[in-house]
Amino acid sequence: MNGPVIVGAGPAGCAAAIVLARENVASLLVDRDAEAGDPLCGGFHSWRTIRTLESLGIDIQALRAAPVHRAVLFAKNQTAELALPRPAFGLSRHRLDSALRRRAEYLGVQIDVDTIRSVEPGAAIGRSRHHEGNGLFLATGKHDVRGESRPRNASDPALGIRLRVPADAALSRIIGDAIELHLFDGGYAGIVMQDGGYANICLALKKSLFEQANKDPHELLVMLSEEHPRFRERLPEGWREQRIDSIGAVPYGWIAQHTEEGLYRLGDQAAVIPSLAGEGISIALASGTMAARYWLANGSAGSRAYQAAFAARARRPVMFARMARSIAEHPVRASTGIRAGRAFPSALRLLMHLTRIG
Ligand SMILES: Cc1cc2nc3c(=O)[nH]c(=O)nc-3n(C[C@H](O)[C@H](O)[C@H](O)COP(=O)(O)OP(=O)(O)OC[C@H]3O[C@@H](n4cnc5c(N)ncnc54)[C@H](O)[C@@H]3O)c2cc1C
């Protein structure tokens, strides 16, 4: 059967293509890159992400992901540590996205390389040609296509910054099987070990902090490390020589409530959960599988019902992640929150549960 055009071969687009292919629907996956890149991401894969990946035929352990069993939180003078409810993993996005593409191709999905400039129900208008299908799935993630931009209303928007460092023995020992969250005034850094023995240091910070550091990511890390000794301990010698990736104006908290007939919005184009929760990939996979099921039941006419149902499903995790972010980014609230978390670890575990997609 002739399927939809899926724009974007990230987790959301690949999940949709895999579910459709298993039902013998031939979708066309279009991505601007011939090979999976390594998008800026914390690279923390929650137990919910792992479960959906397994259902799509991806075994994350076979990809040599690093197991994560604990969460450690740091605010100015406070630390809390707790066991995760279920095992999670650290894995680079290059490895995950490559595995998803390979799985889709194995099931017969065709991947075309083109940069899509604009979309309409049933067609993607690319730099090199038009791609047509029975409906269109928009899964371009962090990147908006012309005419479909998500609103960015925040006066001080969040920026993402990532530094990946080859971890020496001392750093590997410090991080171990933990996801560390270092809470700053105006943002946080997440640190996790990944495949190949790398430590992935990913920050989401208010733009104003970046401006204080003269818009220089290296200067910004120096500024933060001077204020936060425990963060400084995690930056190994020679970190200044490493490349720092950055991404601007992440529309945290945004949820697509509506769509046009024939246009399904997936992944970050459907809902953007604050990254502190470590659930964005899970949401992307969940939206991809759900969109595919709505398409299988209703064809391109199912887009509006899908979008409304997915918005309702994403509401709770996004709302609680926004709440967690507003506590984490405020030094007094963060210290109080960590003290409370130490006294009542079950409350922190409940928050982890409430920020997972159902
Ligand atoms: C700072 C930060 C840290 C994060 N950390 C985590 C974390 O630790 N754990 C977690 O679960 N989530 C995390 N997230 C969220 C996660 O990265 C996203 O939610 C997830 O990548 C969304 O997947 P997606 O498939 O929607 O989009 P993407 O992963 O962005 O994939 C989009 C695909 O579309 C392609 N594309 C884009 N534009 C075009 C175009 N015009 N034409 C053709 N192709 C195009 C791209 O090449 C890419 O392959 C983080 C986010 C940020 C900002």
Residue 47: predicted pLDDT: 97
Q: Which residues does ligand 1 sit against, CB inside 6 Å? A: 7-13, 30-33, 39-44, 49, 115-116, 139-143, 145, 160, 202, 204, 247, 250, 267-268, 275, 278-282, 284
> Which residues of the chain are under the pLDDT cut of 50?
none
Q: Is residue 339 part of a domain?
A: yes
Q: Is residue 189 part of a domain?
A: no
pTM of the model: 0.97
Quote the ligand 1 centre to 268 CA distance (angstroms): 7
Q: Is residue 18 part of a domain?
A: yes
Q: For residue 250, what are the β-bridge partners? A: 158
Q: Is residue 182 part of a domain?
A: no
As a residue count, the chain comes to 358
Q: Is residue 239 part of a domain?
A: no
Q: Is residue 337 part of a domain?
A: yes
Among 53, 281, 283, name the best residue to mutate to test ligand 1's pocket (greatest count of ligand atoms within 8 A of Cβ): 281
CA nearest ligand 1 atom 6, residue: 42
Question: The domain spanning residue 127 has which CATH number?
Answer: 3.50.50.60
Residue 307: predicted pLDDT: 98
Q: Is residue 236 part of a domain?
A: no
CA nearest ligand 1 atom 5, residue: 42
8 Å CB contact between 286 and 296: no
Quote the ligand 1 centre to 76 CA distance (angstroms): 30
Number of domains in the chain: 1
* Residue 120 lies in domain: 2-40+50-62+92-152+252-354
Say what the alpha-carbon torsion angle 186, 192, 194, 199 is, to the nearest 10 degrees. 70
Q: Please state the atom number of ligand 1 nearest to the C-alpha of residue 115.
A: 42
Q: Is residue 160 part of a domain?
A: no
Among 7, 93, 101, 140, name the best residue to mutate to test ligand 1's pocket (greatest count of ligand atoms within 8 A of Cβ): 140
Residue 149: predicted pLDDT: 86
Residue 257: predicted pLDDT: 96
Q: Please state the atom number of ligand 1 nearest to the C-alpha of residue 139.
A: 26
CA distance 152 to 239: 32
Quote the ligand 1 centre to 12 CA distance (angstroms): 9
Among 94, 95, 143, name the best residue to mutate to test ligand 1's pocket (greatest count of ligand atoms within 8 A of Cβ): 143
